[in-house]
């Protein structure tokens, strides 16, 4: 049974509509998808339809943008963007929907600021960015990248990320007006969902020595109700997986694996590249009280 629990569509920064993603998943022999677009539930209805049409199981989800400020084991203050996967929350929960709306709106202002900064050096307008997305989609840097590609400045998304958004780049503005991970976990749990930390320590995290892992911070999130960690993900190094697995084992947490697919041209990640064990999905479904999976018998 092939289960991929983190997939994007054009409801946020994926390049393909839900129906295309499900067709591709079926062709690749997958059995279950969680569609987890950034900070929105606008993909849920179309996902349920595509699930019924293709016969694949669906776990409705959201990838919630958060920003953490914490003191690391190294004694330094860290400010980092963290993504929280929410599985099977009640999509009509007022507090959750309100916070997602706030995030989506703050993303627009932040993306306009990023666009203004880039426009000083490259031909780029806000309309160019809007032209890259479906109406109502959650905006993110990938839409800016797509606009720069469309304007002929770069060949693909990845090149823009590499060349414009390096550490300390003048073209980068963080997502500041978003919940911290603890608030996101509490919102998810109050909405009957299950919170799983997306791609922990991904993107080339290289601790100088073992003590540099943010153990106290992660344990504070577990205390706040974090249910699991996405240990298997194309961008998580094999070097950090043993530490994550040890943490999840000690706290008896859910371990997931997912592709973080963003469309064929969105990112190199392929559907089903990393997968989740059926018993772990069963734990997610058993814990959730907010909504039900679609077309799924384990
Ligand atoms: P944002 O949330 O606006 O800061 O944008 C981050 C998003 O950009 C992530 O969710 C990924 O989908 C995407 N992303 C990050 N790095 C890359 C990359 N190297 N190539 C393509 N997309 C990327
Ligand atoms: Fe994304
Ligand atoms: Fe993410
Ligand atoms: Zn993602």
Q: Quick check: CB of 140 below 6 Å from ligand 1?
A: yes
Residue 177 reports pLDDT greater than 80: yes
Q: Quick check: CB of 141 below 6 Å from ligand 1?
A: yes
Residues with C-beta atoms within 5 A of ion ligand 2: 13
Q: pLDDT for 78-98, tens place per residue? A: 889 999 999 999 999 999 999
Give the mutation target among 178, 267, 268, 270 for probing the ligand 1 site: most ligand atoms within 8 A of CB: 267
CA–CA gap between residue 253 and residue 198 (Å, rounded): 14
Give the mutation target among 6, 7, 13, 65 for probing the ligand 1 site: most ligand atoms within 8 A of CB: 13
By percentage, how much of the chain surpasses pLDDT 70? 98
Q: Which ligand is nearest to the CA of 260?
A: 4
Q: Quick check: CB of 158 below 6 Å from ligand 1?
A: yes
Q: pLDDT for 273-284, tens place per residue? A: 999 999 999 999
> How far apart are the CA of 158 and the centre of ligand 1, in A?
8
| Residue bearing the CA closest to ligand 1, atom 15 | 161
Q: pLDDT for 244-296, tens place per residue? A: 999 999 999 999 999 999 999 999 999 999 999 999 999 999 999 999 999 99
> How far apart are the CA of 197 and the centre of ligand 3, in A?
9
Q: Quick check: CB of 142 below 6 Å from ligand 1?
A: yes
Q: pLDDT for 94-147, tens place per residue? A: 999 999 999 999 999 999 999 999 999 999 999 999 999 999 999 999 999 999
Mean pLDDT score of the chain, rounded to an integer?
Answer: 96
CA–CA gap between residue 9 and residue 30 (Å, rounded): 16
Residue 205 reports pLDDT greater than 70: no
The residue ranking higher by pLDDT, 176 or 130, is 130
Average pLDDT on 26-31 reads 98
| Side-chain-side CA neighbours of residue 169 (13 Å) | 15
CA–CA gap between residue 188 and residue 193 (Å, rounded): 5
The 3-state secondary structure of the chain reads: CCEEEEECCCCCCCCCCHHHHHHHHHHCCCCEEEECCECCCCCHHHHHHHHHHHCCEEEEEEEEEEEEEEECCCCCEEEEEEEEEEECCCCCCHHHHHHHHHHHHHHHHHHHHHHHHHHCCCCCCHHHHHCCCCCCCCCCHHHHHHHHHHCCCCCCHHHHHHHHCCCCCCCCCCCCCCCCHHHHHHHHHHCCCEEEECCCCCCCCCCCCHHHCCHHHHHHHHHCCCCEEEEECCCCCCCCHHHHHHHHHHCCCEEEECCCECCCCCCCCCCCCCCCCHHHHHHHHHHCCCCCCECCCC
Angle of the 141-150 helix axis to the 157-164 helix axis, nearest 10: 110
| Residue bearing the CA closest to ligand 1, atom 18 | 158
* Domain ranges (residues) in the chain: 3-287
> How far apart are the CA of 297 and the centre of ligand 1, in A?
33
The CATH code of the domain at 3-287 is 3.20.20.140
pTM comes to 0.97
* Confidence at residue 172, expressed as pLDDT on a 0 to 100 scale: 96
Average pLDDT on 145-157 reads 97
Residue 26 reports pLDDT greater than 90: yes
Q: Quick check: CB of 234 below 6 Å from ligand 1?
A: no
* Confidence at residue 217, expressed as pLDDT on a 0 to 100 scale: 94
Q: For residue 13, which atom of ligand 1 is closest to its CA?
A: 12
* Confidence at residue 208, expressed as pLDDT on a 0 to 100 scale: 66
Query: In whole angstroms, how far apart are CA 65 and each of 37, 108, 113?
Result: 10, 13, 18
């Amino acid at each position: 049974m092939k289960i991929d629990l983190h997939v994007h569509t054009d409801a946020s920064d994926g390049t393909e509509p839900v129906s295309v993603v499900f067709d591709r998943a079926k062709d690749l022999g997958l059995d279950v998808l969680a569609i987890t677009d950034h900070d929105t539930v606008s993909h849920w209805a179309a996902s349920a339809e595509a699930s019924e049409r293709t016969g694949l199981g669906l776990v409705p989800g959201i990838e919630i943008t958060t920003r953490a400020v914490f003191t690391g084991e190294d004694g330094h203050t860290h400010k980092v963007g963290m993504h929280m996967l929410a599985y099977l929350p009640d999509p009509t929960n007022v507090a959750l929907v309100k916070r997602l709306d706030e995030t989506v709106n703050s993303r627009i202002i932040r993306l306009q600021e990023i666009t203004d900064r880039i426009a000083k050096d490259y031909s780029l307008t806000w309309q160019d960015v809007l032209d890259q997305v479906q109406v109502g989609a959650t905006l993110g840097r990938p839409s800016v990248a797509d606009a720069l590609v469309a304007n002929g400045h770069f060949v693909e998304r990845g090149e823009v990320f590499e060349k414009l958004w390096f550490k300390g780049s003048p073209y980068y503005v963080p997502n500041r007006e978003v919940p911290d991970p603890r608030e996101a976990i509490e919102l998810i749990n109050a909405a009957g969902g299950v919170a799983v930390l997306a791609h922990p320590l991904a993107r080339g995290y290289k601790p100088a020595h073992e003590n540099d892992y943010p153990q106290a911070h992660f344990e504070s999130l577990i205390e706040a109700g974090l249910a699991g960690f996405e240990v298997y993900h194309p961008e998580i190094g094999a070097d950090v997986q043993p530490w994550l697995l040890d943490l999840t084992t000690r706290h008896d947490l859910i371990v997931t694996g997912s592709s973080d697919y963003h469309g064929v041209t969105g990112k190199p990640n392929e559907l089903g590249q990393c997968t989740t064990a059926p018993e772990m999905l069963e734990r997610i479904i058993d814990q959730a009280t907010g909504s039900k999976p679609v077309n799924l018998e384990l």
